[in-house]
Amino acid sequence: MLLLVLFISSCGSRKAVVKPNPNASRIADAMAHLKSKKLYSFITDWTGVRYRLGGLDKSGIDCSGFALLLQKDIYGNALPRRSRDQAEAIKEKDMDHLKEGDLIFFSFGGGAIDHVGIYLNDGYFVHASTTRGVIVDDLSLPAYQKALVKAGSFKN
């Protein structure tokens, strides 16, 4: 019994090990350089909201729902609900010419478009990650480069 008490109390006294994000300062820099302060507020308000397929609110949101709400609230654009349909609503651009608010589409399943994010600046974008929720991420990561399909701005 004494061993059980010692074990339980020792677990409670352990400090969580937090791995530092080597990109944290670059992500903060990308956020600080956003031209739209409304976009900055929107992203910070949604950061950390968990992923939920079909979700459209703070209890959980998916990537296309996040893109839909961001485009509507920040730019006044009415996007379709699904990422593959959203991809048809853009004017395609070369990656070197992306601007803040442009949409980026991915295919992680190897076929049709199945993920969308919003370009910020300096190679960073915001999206609803299936594993990490709403997050700002580095577009140069190999997983994103491999899955990248197309990008561009909303057709007005």
Report the catalytic residues: 63, 115, 127
- Angle at CA 140, nearest 5°, toward 53 and 129? 15
Residue 155, SS3?
coil
Measuring CA to CA, which residue among 128, 122, 117, 100 is closest to residue 39?
Answer: 100
Q: What is the dihedral of CA 128, 76, 92, 29, to 10 degrees?
A: -50
Given a contact cutoff of 8 angstroms between Cβ atoms, the answer to whether 71 and 82 are in contact is no
